[in-house]
Structures are given as C-alpha cells and as structure tokens.
Structure 1
Amino acid sequence: MCTDDIHEDAGQDGEHGIGRRALLVTGAAGALTLTTMSFASAADGSRSTKTLKGTLPPGAPDYVYLPVDVPSGVREIKVSYTYEKATGLPAGTQNNALDIGVFDERGTALGGEGFRGWSGGARTEFFVRADDATPGYIPGPVRPGRWNIALGPYTVAPEGLPYEVTVTLTHGKADPTPRPTYPPQRARGRGRAWYRGDCHLHSWYSDGRRTPAEIGALARAAGLDFINTSDHNTHSAHAHWSDVAGDDLLVMIGEEITTRNGHVVALGTEPGTFVDWRYRARDNRWAKYAQQIRRAGGLVVPAHPHATCIGCGWKFGFGEADAVEVWNGPYTPDDEVSLADWDNTLVAYARSRGRTGWIPAMGNSDAHRDPDRVGGPQTVVLADDLSREAIQAGIKAGHSYVAESSSVELTFTATGGKGGSAGIGERLTVSPDAPVTITLKAKASPDCTLHIVTDQGTLFTSAPGVASATWRTTASYAAYARAEIRHTPTTQGLPGPLAAFTNPIFLGAA
C-alpha cells in the first residue's frame, strides 16, 4: 500500500510535525486523493510551509489530488515539486514523468469550475495570487477552503514514482485582480480573399518558450494574416494577446485540450473559455466537451491524429470534428499516414452520396520554441473578411489549402457542364459522363511535382518544375479531385514530402 508523509515548517517558529496515512481512492473515475495539508491562520506577512513526500505505484490513476485546507487571510499560494527518474530501466521502458496544476476551493469536478492553472511538466513551481500568477495559471483571490494540487503521473516506471510537493502560503491583504482584455475579433483584411494562418501555437503560458509578442513577430514575418492560440489545458494566455493583434494580424483564442487519448485544438472560442481534458475515450465524455467548444463559438479540430508520442494518437473518432489537422509541423511519416486516413474519409463521404458530412483538412506548425517555424505549415483560407467568424466559416467549409510557407501559392478549379465551375471545397454538379476539366496552377520550389488525387488514388503526376497542369475526367470516373504539390522523394519507394495540398472538389450530383 502506498503511503505519504507530510512535513510542516511553520515559518518563523520552525516547528515540525509528521502525519501519515494511506492514499484514498476518490469517487471520481481515474483519480486518487492524498493526505490533506491543513494550514492555520497566521499574522500578515508571515509564511507557512508544508511538504508532502510519497511514491506513486505503476498503474497509478491519471490524476492524483493533494487537498490543501487554506485559511482566510492568505495573499499567495506557492507550490513547488520534484520527482525522481528511475535508473537502470530496461530498453523500451518509459521513465517517470509527472505533471502539475491546481484547483481552488470550488473543487475538482469535471468541467473545471475550480480550475486555476496547469503547467503540465513545463515548470517545477508556480504561484497564484489576486494580482498575478505564473504563466499557465489564473490570477484571482486565494479564497479560504479546500484547494487541490493536481498531479498527473503521465508515465510511471516499474519501481514507482517518488515525488515531493511543497506548499507555501503567504498571509496578508490581497491586491486587486486586473480586469482582462482580449484581442479584437476582426482585423482590417482585404474583403473576400485568401488569408494565411497558423492555428496551433504554444507560448510560455504552457510548454512553449516564446512570449506572445515573439510569436506575433514571427507570424508577421511568415506572412500570416491570422493565428489561433492553443496552449495546453489552460486559458491563462487569453488575456495576454491584445498587444499582439493589429490591423494586419487577427489573433483568435483557443486551447489545445490534451487528453490521455489524443489532443484537439479548440479553434476560435470566446476569450476566457476553459475546456476540461481529464477523461479518456472509454469515459464517453468527449461529445459533451466538443459541444462546449461549439457553444463557445469555436471549431473542434483533432490535432496530429497519428502522432507517435504517448497519449497523442487520436482515439475519440471524428464524429464531432469540424476539421482535422492532417499536417503538423515538419512533414513526417505520421503526417503521411494522417493524409491517407483523411483521404479515406473522403471516399466514405463519396460512397454515402452526401448523406453524411465530410471533414475538411488543415495544417499547422504546433510551434513551441526555436527552431520550430511559425507558419510551417499554414492553412490558406478563402474568407469573406479577416474576422474570426469568416475565417472559421472558410475552414469549416473546406475552402482552404495547406502550404509549407507563404512562398507556395496555388489555384485549383474544376469546370464542366454548361459553363459550371467549382473551387476548393465546392461541388461541381454535372451529369456522370459529362467532361470535367481539372486545372492546377502552382508557385513552388523547382524540385516540386504536381499531383491530382481522386478516390482511386493519384491519377496525374507532372514532371518536376512544372507550373501548371490540366487533367480531364468525368464524375463517374472520379468522385472528387484534390491537388498535392510534393518535393523530390527523400526515401526510395515513398512519396516526396508535401509542399502543399488542397481540400477536394467533389464531382457530380450529391
């Protein structure tokens, strides 16, 4: 049975006391509650400190809570923690990794009413007080009641995960909490036009290393018109982007919801929206939180669905998705798998003859720190305006393509029937055997080849360096057509890395 030890330091008096009791399983699925730390009231300006030590076993629940009874008159709560890595592990065995966050006196119930911050494994300490908080955490009064330090044993080695958590309360009068300001939901724009954006970015408000100002400067340098903030499991950054936005850059607000069964970008939610992440696919809770994202005005975008990192692969299905992030960061084999998997969904849609919806694709950088390239890749969206609403509408309709940088441009159209034409994300309604002309024009690297892909696979490939291509087909032969621009293959027998790809143009009657 696991045990934990509490050590108390009363500040100036230097008194110590030790308590010991077994870990208790809570009523919530996948959670564990540790021994409660209880603090007494103290004089203004004084500090009270307690430390808990223990070891979590292999197979520990996803979340472990350390209750902290906070008295009245507390100005600041500060938490630090350490944990030990195992030595001599067999090859292929995961070592210890422990995340951390905090919930206030409103509790730890799913939905996050009591949520006050999360830093995952990015920081070893944090503080919360009324006027300020560590990045990743929410400023506000430290009210009396039972707070909970949230520990997330991401991976646990066979011999267990030894940890130590220290909580320090500073007693005294709190300063006022600043009122948050948020970026505007519209930039100047160019009317109906193609706008470039990166909707998966991390700042120092989660595990990134860049400030919002640094990200904004890199976005402008990359030729972007819009970005979406997506720090892991916290909305603490939302109030820190106003100075980054401008007439030339739309800043949308969001979150990357990082569960143990995959990650999803909440794209363009109302500022201040927090979406909980403490569930797995088997808990049957995902639909509720997807609906919360949409109620908050956001889009649901599963991220890097075939990523190989632990907990990154998407296990919730795509029934709630408004779009899917097919290309994430530098193009790698897992992106190729995601592209093929997404293409299969287009085939299923075509087979349903429009009775089901189709899921548009997008691409984002997932940039965290140097040398991660903001805007690599980027989603290029046809929108009526440079506003949150218009950009979201373009993404959801599939009126977009993905490019490795702003130096890549393309146009892709289908014409046929009685002068009909359709663009990316649209449908060209023609009779099954009517001639259809597919036209692709591109500006890309000289080593690139142009490809036209249908529900049968790739049916046209150009020579390297060709700037345009025309291919003729019928709706009975191709249910849809989409374009790819690829670099020269780097591995024999495998396709070259993408420079760009489009969403489809569907052919024939729905």
Structure 2
Amino acid sequence: MTTIAPTSESLLSVRGQVSPVLHVPYLYHEFEVPDGATTLTVSLRFHKKRRCQLFLSVFGPMNYRGTRMNPGGVGDIHLELTFGAHSASPGALAGLIEPGRWRAQIDVESTEETAEYFLTVAAGFGESPTQTSPDPVTVNGRPGAGWYRGELHAHTHHSDGRPTPGELAGAARRAGLDFVALTDHFTPAGWAEIDHHAGPDLAVIHSLELTGHRGHANLHGLNGWVDVFVDDPAKEWTVNDVARGVRDQGGVFCVNHAFSNSLGWQYHEFDWSLCGAFEIYHHLEGPNNAAQLIFWDGLLRAGHRITGVAGTDSHDPLAGRHRLGQVTTVINARNLTPAGLIDGVRKHRAYVSLGPELTFAAECGGERADMGGELVLPGGHASPCRVRLLVEVGNLAHPTRLFVMKNGLYHTHLDLAASAAPVQLEVLDPNPGPGYYRLEAYARAPQSGFSGGREWQNTLLLSNPIFIRGES
C-alpha cells in the first residue's frame, strides 16, 4: 500500500511595519484557500523592545476562527494559529478548512516603537487526523436555589493565561468555588474543553473579554461568539453594538477594571443603560478599587441599576494575587447553572466577599425587599414610614467596621467583633426617600480609634443595593 505524504503550499508571505507615528487600529491581509486544504497555519513574527502590542486573529469565509496574543512578552515574538478539522492550536477553533477568501487581522492595540512584522500562511493537504470521540459532557451545575460563590474573571492558555481550561476548573474546585467564568480575551476556543470539566459541584459560564483599545469588558453567559473588535472607525460596529449583542443572547455586559490607567474604560460614548455589571472590586487593581466604587455610585444615582461584581482577573489560578478564592462574587441563583447565575447577576442578587457571608433586606410599611430588590415607600401617612435595614453577617475573621451607605453617601456604621457565628443587626432610617441602600465592611485593628475605615486594602464585603422608590 502506498502512503502519500502530506504536502503544504504557501498562501501568503508579507512584510509590514507598525509605527506610533502612523498608527492604524487593525491591519488586514486577505488570502485565498484552495479546495482540498485540510490544515492551515497562520504565523506572525515581530520583535519588540518595550511596548508593541500586536494580536493575531483569523477569519474564515463565514466566521471567526481564533486569536493569539502574547502581551507581556519582549524580544522576538511568534504568534501562531493552526487549524484542522478536528484539532487546533490554543486560541483557535477546530473545523473544516473552507475554501475561499480568508483574512488575517493584526490588531495594533498599541505601540510605542516602530516594528517590522512578518506574516505567513501555509495550507496543508492530505488526510485529516482521525476524529476521536470526545468524553461525554458532564452536568453543568445542579438544581436548587441558594447562594453560590465563584469567579467571574479568569484566563487560560487560549489567550494570555497559564492554565489549560481543565487546570482552571481544577483550581476552582480546590478553592471551594461553585462556579467559574472562562473569560479569555477575544476567543471562545476554551469553552468546549472546560465544559468537560463541569459537574454538579462546579458550573462553568461561557464568557469572553472584549479587549479593546480603550477598555475591557467581560461578556458573560454567551452561547456564541460576539464580534469584539470595535476600534476600526471604518467599521460600523461599536461597543454599544457588542453590548446589544450580548443582551440578545441573554447575557450580561460587564465593564472591567474601569480605572486601570491605560487599560481603563475610555469608551466615553458608551450607553450605560446597556451595562449589566461593573467590577467594583478587582484583585489586581489596588487603590483603583476606591475610584471604581465611587464611579459605580454615580451610575446608581443616575438611575442605572448595574450590578457590582468582583474579578480576580486570574492568569495563574494557583499563584500569588492571581490565586482563585481570595475574592469572590456570591450570587443568589434559582439553581447552580450558567443561566441561573446570569439571572442572579441581572437581578443584582449578588455581593462581593473576601471572606464574610451576608444576608441583607429592608422593610417598611409591612413590605420587604431583599438585596437587589425594590422597596416602595407607602404614601398618605401622617408620619413618614421608617425603613428598617435587616443585616446578618457571618464568618468575620477580623474585627470589622460595617458601613451603611445611602445613595452613595455615609449613613451610619457599626463596629463588630471577630466572630464565626452570624451576627444579626438592625438599622433604622427615620427619613427615607427614593434612592438605594448598600453595605460595605472593612477589617479594623481591634484597638484602633481611627474614625475612618474605608481603606480599599481592608475590604471584606461590598453588597449590591436595595432600591427605594416613592409611591406614585
């Protein structure tokens, strides 16, 4: 029997240059793939001395096929995407190599130097590797309403993270998490793999991180890829269109690390009514968290009901500040499933925790609202109805100062001793009005006489609001 060796054919070989003087957001190079190709390799090489952020993406005749990036590297950079019918390199989506017009896109996120790049494309011909039957997909979560803690911002080797999707899921289990969102930059290439590591003890959420030139956002709860490339002025596709696309899929658009200097949110044309969540605590952002909290209050006061969430932004889930479990978003969901969790975020039934547990409700005139809900103040009384805030805080590993915030301003605070047992508290507001209440808790030195206490580095707990509306 004669075996025919696979052959290859060069489809594109081009040199180009990027420069901070003549900056363009994207460079496009099209190439024609002939009939019969079974593999495709797209390679981008360049040298950078300091900051030159080039990302490689590939599009087939009908759809997006993958992205490769190495934002932290210096020296000789090699980005490569390999596609086959049943296998693909990290960041790439497996599938048939369609004949026709393909496009390589170089995303010039930023550059402080002039750099030459070399882009090549090669097609392979021959028998495709035999398709192996994947393991059966496990159950993704479990029934039952409850409070579930997890991670909403984590990366794998399909973008710029260290772990595989399986390793990320394993680290989430070791951290005792109930859910994890896979938020690789640009690409959904890890979704199918991490699905095989879900189970009744761990729900996995399909997400992407929009990695724009003027800010980042997580697109949570997707069932398909959304075009995340929003920086070409010649292309009628904006960040608002992305947010609408996420909403149309039943997902939540979440603005990330909004005050992260050059990676902060600079899409000033963004329609905040399309925003479902906002990172009020980012584990890598340090004092920028204080600014994020203040800005979120401004959005709430303007009438935008946006859910505050946390993000580790983990790139190595077992190491240092990237280790999972140090900060979590705790979501009250009808079940531990991606849809249930996304619904809980959408309804503001969530809080940020670095350890403590929380129950938060408000009562007035015989009516009650839990965190995320709305309390309507009754009218027609000779004396105004007092609002009672009912708080239960548990698992306090440190002496704690608990703040009650009203419409983003200080209302009152209570000092609590360290206690593993739940502590029940009641706070009265004799002069309520339309707006919202929320809670903050910070670790406090036991003998401290300091009258402040809202230092970001001591954050233990940030609740979402209970909204207050006057009777119409």
Q: TM-score range by the shorter chain?
A: 0.7 to 0.9
Distance 1:500 1:157, change over 3 A: same
What residue number does 2:343 align with? 393
Matched, 1:504 2:465: yes
Distance 1:280 1:81 in 2: 21
- Deviation for aligned residue 1:297: 2.7
- Deviation for aligned residue 1:65: 1.6
SS at match of 1:280: coil
- Deviation for aligned residue 1:124: 2.4
- Deviation for aligned residue 1:385: 1.6
SS at match of 1:121: coil
- Deviation for aligned residue 1:73: 2.9
Distance 2:374 2:128 in 1: 60
Cα offsets for 1:80-126 (capped at 9, x unmatched): 3321224xxxxxxx73221112122x1xxxxxx43111013366222
Distance 1:97 1:360, change over 3 A: closer
Matched, 1:362 2:309: yes
Matched, 1:52 2:6: no
What residue number does 1:422 align with? 369
Distance 1:209 1:389, change over 3 A: same
- Deviation for aligned residue 1:186: 4.8
What residue number does 1:267 align with? 220
Matched, 1:348 2:312: no
Does the 8 Å contact 2:137/2:196 carry over to 1?
A: yes
Partner amino acid for 1:428?
L
What residue number does 2:352 align with? 402
Distance 1:311 1:403, change over 3 A: closer
Q: TM-score, normalised on structure 2?
A: 0.84
What residue number does 1:79 align with? 42
Does the 8 Å contact 2:56/2:107 carry over to 1?
A: yes
Distance 1:275 1:480 in 2: 34
Distance 1:295 1:182 in 2: 29
- Deviation for aligned residue 1:221: 2.3
Selected match of 1:470 from 400, 417, 426: 426
Distance 2:296 2:408 in 1: 14
SS at match of 1:128: strand
The share of aligned pairs that are identical, in percent, is 26
Q: CA RMSD in A?
A: 2.9
- Within a 5 Å distance, the mapping from 1:199-348 to structure 2 comes to 199-270=152-223, 273-280=224-231, 285-310=238-263, 313-315=266-268, 316-330=270-284, 332-348=286-302
- Deviation for aligned residue 1:246: 0.6
Cα offsets for 1:53-78 (capped at 9, x unmatched): 23223233211122233333323222
Q: Which runs of 5+ in 1 are unaligned?
A: 1-42, 87-93, 107-112, 350-356
What residue number does 1:149 align with? 104
Cα offsets for 1:442-493 (capped at 9, x unmatched): 2323143111111261222223536554321135357321110113499998
SS at match of 1:208: coil
What residue number does 1:117 align with? 66
Q: Which is further off, 392-401 or 163-172?
A: 163-172
Distance 1:400 1:281, change over 3 A: farther
- Deviation for aligned residue 1:380: 1.1
Which structure has more strand as a fraction of its residues? 2
SS at match of 1:124: strand
- Deviation for aligned residue 1:211: 1.4
Cα offsets for 1:106-150 (capped at 9, x unmatched): 1xxxxxx43111013366222112121111101122233332221
Matched, 1:377 2:332: no
SS at match of 2:118: strand
Does the 8 Å contact 2:257/2:264 carry over to 1?
A: no
Q: TM-score, normalised on structure 1?
A: 0.78
Does the 8 Å contact 1:232/1:255 carry over to 2?
A: yes
Does the 8 Å contact 1:184/1:251 carry over to 2?
A: no
Does the 8 Å contact 1:228/1:253 carry over to 2?
A: yes
Distance 1:182 1:360 in 2: 35
Distance 1:207 1:174, change over 3 A: same
Distance 1:317 1:291 in 2: 10
SS at match of 1:224: coil
Distance 1:479 1:295, change over 3 A: closer
What residue number does 1:23 align with? none
Matched, 1:166 2:120: yes
What residue number does 1:449 align with? 401
Partner amino acid for 1:439?
L
- Deviation for aligned residue 1:255: 1.3
Distance 1:157 1:387 in 2: 44
SS at match of 1:294: helix
Distance 2:84 2:238 in 1: 32
Distance 1:482 1:311 in 2: 25
